């Protein structure tokens, strides 16, 4: 039987949203030397079955969306990061050591349904 | 809703929120590495985060440790040419990850012109502090010599490779008794009275600045790359 496609407007579809994390807002600028903040971004939006193939989805997301349509107890595919990139942070610890460390997967570059 | 601060601190490898009185100066090498990474991120390049290209070593954490040592003022000058003695101490306890030290570079900045009046040449001796052999001995003494170097004229920052020493200290923290630095003045005794040395040596004491640049590799985050046959 044909599965009815849920209505979803474009702006509610899964995509990347801008999110800037400002260290000053949290008072962390007193010990984080650089950067002052970074564009972390986040993923949010619907993953309707009808569009899972076009929303940068995994094959599994497609199957999960299909199963959700057939059985609502199976959760819907969700909007998640599909490509992340690192940042480097320079900060000072309690022993006055200046530390430069690289952190993987800190910035969301792309989103998709998974 | 309170953001669980400890989660972020744990993520950074810290126990509590640092509250520095003032931010330490950032050495140019750390700035350079940071800038290069920012440029790479902006251009979409994906550099190897476990290799510090600027230093030519593997590693994913760079630390600049300030010297927490102290000057020694022996009642009797050990040699006529002795200018200053200092214990250099670097607290490595902050290194909590089971990291492998891949680089340890001691930098000694004698100051731009602090000893230009001293005369022809300085001699610098760097040793391990002799480990205490008994209770009650408080005066540190030089042990195994790590470097002997002549410094004929002011030449900026002097660097020493301390990889083996630092690796040993991180594995066995109890062995870290510090380093013994002695600066000697190669003087012409006929032309120079020892009392004349006092003032320039005092200037040298004020301007001397030591730091240890340490690069570590966290095997959890940096797995060895598979080699193709």
Residue scoring higher pLDDT (A110 or A7): A110
For an interface test with A, give the residue of B23, B28, B36 to mutate (most A CBs within 10 A): B23
Angle (CA) A98-B56-A85 rounded to 5° is 65
pLDDT given for residue B102 in this prediction: 95
More confident residue, A2 or A60: A60
Cα–Cα distance for residue pair B62/B52, rounded to 1 Å: 9
Of the ranges A26-40, B65-79, B106-120, B183-197, the best mean pLDDT one = A26-40
Q: How far apart are CA A84 and CA A86, in angstroms?
A: 7
Task: Report CA-CA distances (Å) from B153 to A86, B87, B93, B111.
Answer: 44, 23, 36, 11
Q: What are the residues of chain B with a beta carbon less than 8 Å away from any beta carbon of chain A?
A: 3, 11-20, 23-24, 26-27, 30, 33-34, 37-38, 41, 46, 49, 60-66, 91, 93-94, 221
pLDDT of residue B187: 63
pLDDT value, residue B10: 78
**pLDDT beyond 50 at B191:** no
- Of the pLDDT bands very low, low, confident and very high (cuts 50, 70, 90), residue A77 is confident
The reply to whether residue B30 touches residue A94, judged by beta carbons under 8 angstroms, is: no
Residue B211 and residue B157 in contact, taking contact as beta carbons nearer than 8 Å: no
Give how far Cα B83 sits from Cα of B26, B32, B158, Å.
29, 35, 18
Q: Which of B20, B35, B61 is nearest to A27 (CA)?
A: B20
What pLDDT was estimated at residue B23?
A: 81
Name the residue in chain B with its Cα closest to that of A104. Answer: B49
| Nearest in space to A58 (alpha carbons), one of A44, A77, A84 | A77
pLDDT tens for B21-57 read 888 888 888 999 999 988 888 887 777 889 999 999 9
Which A residues in the span 11-70 are in contact with B, Cβ-Cβ below 8 Å? 26, 28, 30-31, 33-35
Higher-confidence residue: B75 or B100? Answer: B100
Q: Which residues of A touch B51 (CB under 8 A)?
A: none
Mean of pLDDT values over B171-200: 73
Give the CA distances from residue B38 to residues A86, B44, B46, in Å, rounded to whole numbers and listed in that order.
10, 10, 11
- Cα distances from A111 to residues A14, A54, A107, B53, in angstroms, run 7, 12, 11, 31
Strands in B114-178 per DSSP E: 121-129, 142-151, 157-161
Q: Hey, which bits of B67-175 come out as E strands?
A: 70-72, 82-88, 100-109, 121-129, 142-151, 157-161
Evaluate whether B122 touches B187 at the Cβ level (below 8 Å).
Answer: no
Could you tell me whether strands A98-113 and B142-151 are parallel, antiparallel, or unpaired per DSSP bridges?
unpaired
- Residue numbers in B near A102 (CB within 8 A): 37, 49, 60-61
The interface predicted TM-score of the complex, written ipTM, equals 0.77
Given pLDDT bands bounded at 50, 70 and 90, which one contains residue B58? very high
Q: Which of residues B29 and B81 earns the better pLDDT score?
A: B29
Measured in angstroms, the CA of B27 and the nearest CA of chain A are apart by 9
- Predicted local confidence at residue B1, as pLDDT: 45
Per CB-CB distance under 8 Å, the chain B contacts of A106 are none
pLDDT tens digits for B84-94? Answer: 999 999 999 87
Contact B216, B102 (CB under 8 A): yes
A vs B, Cβ pairs < 8 A, gives 87
From chain B, the residues in CB contact with A93 under 8 A are: 14, 18, 94
Alpha carbons B229 and B227: distance in angstroms, whole number: 6
pLDDT in tens, A29-50: 889 999 999 999 999 998 886 6
The H-or-E segment that residue A39 falls in is strand A37-39
- Out of A93, A102, A104, the one facing B94 most closely (by C-beta) is A93
Top-ranked range on mean pLDDT: pick from A70-79, B89-98, B117-126, B214-223: A70-79
Please give the Cα distance from A78 to A81 (Å, whole number).
10
pLDDT of amino acid B116: 55
């Amino acid at each position: 039987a044909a599965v009815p496609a849920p209505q979803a407007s474009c702006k509610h579809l899964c995509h990347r949203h801008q999110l800037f994390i400002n260290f000053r807002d949290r008072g962390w600028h007193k010990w984080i030397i650089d950067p002052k903040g970074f564009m972390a971004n986040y993923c949010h939006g619907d993953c309707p079955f009808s569009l899972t193939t076009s929303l940068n989805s995994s094959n599994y997301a497609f199957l999960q969306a299909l199963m959700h349509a057939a059985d609502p107890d199976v959760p819907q595919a969700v909007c998640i990061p599909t490509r992340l990139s690192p940042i480097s942070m320079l900060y000072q610890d309690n022993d006055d050591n200046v530390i430069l460390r690289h952190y993987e997967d800190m910035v969301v570059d792309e989103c998709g349904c998974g | 809703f309170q953001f669980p601060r400890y989660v972020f601190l744990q993520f950074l490898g810290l126990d509590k929120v640092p509250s520095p009185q003032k931010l330490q100066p950032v050495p140019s090498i750390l700035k350079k590495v940071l800038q290069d990474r920012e440029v790479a991120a902006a251009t979409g390049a994906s550099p190897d985060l476990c290799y510090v290209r600027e230093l030519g070593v593997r590693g994913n954490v760079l630390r600049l440790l300030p010297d927490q040592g102290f000057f020694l003022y022996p009642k009797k000058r050990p040699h006529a040419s002795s200018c200053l003695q200092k214990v250099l101490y670097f607290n490595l306890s902050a290194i909590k990850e089971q990291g492998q030290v891949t680089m340890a570079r001691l930098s000694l900045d004698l100051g731009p012109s602090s000893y230009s009046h001293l005369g022809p040449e300085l001699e610098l001796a760097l040793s391990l502090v002799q480990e205490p052999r008994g209770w009650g001995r408080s005066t540190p003494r030089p042990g195994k010599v790590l470097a002997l170097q002549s410094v004929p004229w002011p030449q900026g920052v002097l660097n020493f490779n301390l990889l083996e020493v630092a690796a040993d200290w991180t594995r066995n923290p109890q062995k870290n008794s510090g380093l013994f630095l002695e600066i000697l003045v190669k003087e012409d005794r006929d032309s120079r009275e020892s009392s004349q040395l006092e003032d320039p040596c005092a200037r040298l004491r004020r301007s001397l600045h030591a730091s240890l640049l340490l690069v570590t590799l966290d095997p959890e985050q940096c797995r060895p790359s598979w080699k193709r046959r």
